[in-house]
Structure 1
Amino acid sequence: MIDPRVTTRRTLAGLTGLALAGTLAAAPASAAEPSSSLQRRLDALVTDGGSPAALAAVRGRDGRTRHYTAGVADLKTGAEVPVDGRVRIASNTKMFTAVVVLQLVGEGKIKLDGKVERYLPGMLRGKAGDGRKITVRRLLQHTAGLPDYDGVLLKDYFDIQHRHYEPYELVEAARTRKGTPVGRWSYSNTGYVLAGLIIQKVTGRPVGEEITRRVIKPLGLEKTYWPSLGEQRIRGPHPKGYWRTKPDEPYTDVSTMDPSMAWAAGQLVSTPSDLNRFMVGLLDGRLLRPAQLAQMKKTVAAPQFDTSGKARYGLGIATFKLSCGGVAWSHGGSAPGYATSNAATEDGRAATIATTALPADMKTVKNIETALDRALCE
């Protein structure tokens, strides 16, 4: 789901925070008929929700995918929204990072209940948290009590839009704030930056390379990539992303940006259909051994994660109840210019909705959540 704190506090808490190719026979990319329920909901996200564009992909149990678009890709030119265009998926990256950590757990290179200090000696100290007391599991579960760094670094987004950050700078920024009690669920991008640093420490390779080698390539996610160092433009067909701080302000194009402030917590670029393929592949057990997938699905209450207050969070993945019965697995992510919400079921259904501006209010967030529920239930 979309991290609701982004709209309620007007911060970038979701900057880095709210399906398998080859064997799945996806339908050719095409816009759905205008009369469809999801198409109407996407149209409303543009006309009523204020987003310049919205795009979605819905995968049925039979493996076929339907694509939807609404609005315009460029407010200046009025260009059409590219079907299954690329967007910055922000905190959805956390699922990829968690998968790599859990793969390394399965390989015996990381202990899920090992202390952070074991892998990153001396990095986590002080009022923000103590690496000698915090486990890897708690980083992935958001129960480490770590403060977020974005509230420290972000004063005016346009001041840092093109600034490059090293991961240690993000951790250092978080260390200036007091943490919350260990064990209490509290969303933290900082925890996933530390998880990325642990991946690099035990593999000796960049986290983006490990995500690409271990997740993106095996699943054939051809439109998903980790931006290279200094790469600020989005590759390939994509709608432009827009940002404003007040509803009555004109939108500013923020498609070009340095995503390093998100890093292992939110740097990836992908498309709605690729996110669906990832989710289906993950739930099918094609990325993780049964023991590690079971650990990923062990959830705790995460009342601030969605508007229902009833969401639960595992290790890099959340779950919520569907109106038609059963549950869906999800995450979501919000960054300047883009908000992406997704959900998938264990029987192969999946849906992803992206907008090219952050939701203007909680009503819009709720509308997106409802659209996802209906896409899976109908």
Structure 2
Amino acid sequence: MTLALAGVGAVGVATVLGTGPGAEGAAAHRAAQGRFQRDADAVRDTGATGLVARARDAAGHDTAVRSGVADLDGRDPVHHDAYYRIGSDTKTFVAVVALQLVAEGTLHLDDTVEEWLPGVVSGNGNDGSRITLRNLLQHTSGLADYTDVLFGDPATLTPEGFREGRFTARTLEEEVALATTRPPGWLPDAEAPGSETRWSYSNTNYVLAGLIVEKATGHPWEQEVNDRIIEPLGLRHTMTMGTSAYVPQPTATAYTRFPGREELTDTTLSVDGGPDGGIVSTTDDMNSFLRALMNGTLLPAEQLAQMRTTVPAPGMGGSDEARYGLGIAWRPAEGCDAGVWFHGGTSFGTVSEEVVTPDGRASAAVAVYTTRYDDEERFLRQQAATLSLLDHVVCEPSGRPSHPPA
């Protein structure tokens, strides 16, 4: 890997897209561009093979940067409009759909899983009558994560195991069944399950949320995401992939380092098509989506307020002070007095991260085409550098601490 990345440092030039600032702000703007590029290079220097990032300021001006290479066998940079798997950022899209259905009166946050999906969550101490839609969207259900069942044994995390299963598609019902082979971490209070504040991230929650959307509308969750978000916002480079293992071009090779292996494995092809992580997008579209969410375009004020009602979620986004709402999280950020809203998603070989200010006026998104399961310390260094890149480009240094949402 060291030899492959040698000499890559020169790849990556900041690009301003759209109308630039007036003459009085040109020097400051150039300085900000330079910092954005240096931060992108810092992510590359943690061992990431390639990345692309885009920021949009309060005036709607875009700045895009990239660093590293699109493939270790060549020297081409990652395309500024490269597609990537957004992973768990998909959950924010699904939460928006669910909350739109709440606004329309089709769903209620206090609806239980058992009401909509009788008998689906049961056995081994699991009880769908004790879990509400709010619990699912907020990760306060206590349900086991089906991905822990699939990949909990480190022996399964190998290049050979990945290649053998990369085209295997599972139904949403099969994924829930995997999760319910394990007992829950807890059961929410029988009298007021929606008041639960114990938090544990579980992909199973959004598999069930997707199934409830389908039951309530009579349509696949993908159709509802398309009709309610993608099409109205004109997100022409955002799509649900279903059982396809492919990512549209242009993209970059997604590399994974598996435990106990020195080499990087090409993990670009992989089926990952559920409501917990099945959307492919671009940094441009992700900025558009996040801003439309925070400025009230996608949700009425009441539902947006519900989405931003949080419980402690220590460790989310690398922050011990993080809080999780309904499909979106908050954390403090240096220079942003009100902190930033975010989510983040990881797929085999791709990390998606983004931030948006509470008023939706500034945002940034990044795709990093390298994940690692071999070294937690290096993983955390890459994560920290990625989050610093986002915070630096969105927040204005003020020296004041961020305050959590009310």
Where in structure 2 are the equivalents of 1:119-268 lying within 5 Å?
A: 119-127=116-124, 129-154=126-151, 155-156=156-157, 157-181=162-186, 182=188, 183=196, 184-227=198-241, 229-246=242-259, 249-260=262-273, 263-268=274-279
Aligned partners of 1:128 and 1:174 also within 8 Å: no
CA distance in 1, matches of 2:138, 2:236: 29
Summarize deviations over 1:12-46 as a string: whole Å, max 9, x none. xxxxxxxxxxxxxx6289xx999711211211222
Summarize deviations over 1:322-366 as a string: whole Å, max 9, x none. 211222110000110100110001151001121001264212211
CA distance in 2, matches of 1:250, 1:102: 43
The alpha-carbon distance between structure 1 residues 107 and 50, as it changes in their structure 2 partners (threshold 3 A), is same
Q: SS of the residue aligned with 1:75?
A: coil
Aligned partners of 1:185 and 1:302 also within 8 Å: yes
Aligned partners of 1:33 and 1:39 also within 8 Å: no
- Identity between Structure 1 and Structure 2 (%): 38
Where in structure 2 are the equivalents of 1:89-100 lying within 5 Å?
A: 89-100=86-97
Aligned to 2:345: 333
Aligned to 1:377: 395
Gap regions ≥5 residues in structure 1: 1-25
Aligned partners of 2:39 and 2:388 also within 8 Å: no
Q: Cα RMSD between the aligned structures?
A: 2.0
The alpha-carbon distance between structure 1 residues 323 and 134, as it changes in their structure 2 partners (threshold 3 A), is same
The structure number with the bigger radius of gyration is 2
Higher RCO, Cα 8 Å, sep 6+:
1
The alpha-carbon distance between structure 1 residues 199 and 75, as it changes in their structure 2 partners (threshold 3 A), is same
Gap regions ≥5 residues in structure 2: 1-16, 21-29, 189-195, 373-377, 397-406
CA distance in 1, matches of 2:164, 2:303: 41
Select 1:342's aligned residue among 337, 345, 354. 354
**TM-score (norm. length: structure 2):** 0.82
Q: SS of the residue aligned with 2:48?
A: coil
Q: What amino acid sits opposite 2:306 in the alignment?
A: Q
Summarize deviations over 1:171-219 as a string: whole Å, max 9, x none. 0110111211233100010000000000000111111111011111111
Summarize deviations over 1:42-90 as a string: whole Å, max 9, x none. 112222x111101100000001111111011111123221012110000
CA distance in 2, matches of 1:119, 1:337: 35
Aligned to 1:315: 326
CA distance in 1, matches of 2:299, 2:203: 23
Summarize deviations over 1:242-268 as a string: whole Å, max 9, x none. 1121486221211111113xx000000
Are 1:87 and 2:84 counterparts? yes
Aligned partners of 1:34 and 1:40 also within 8 Å: no
Give the Å deviation of 1:231: 1.7
CA distance in 2, matches of 1:59, 1:34: 12
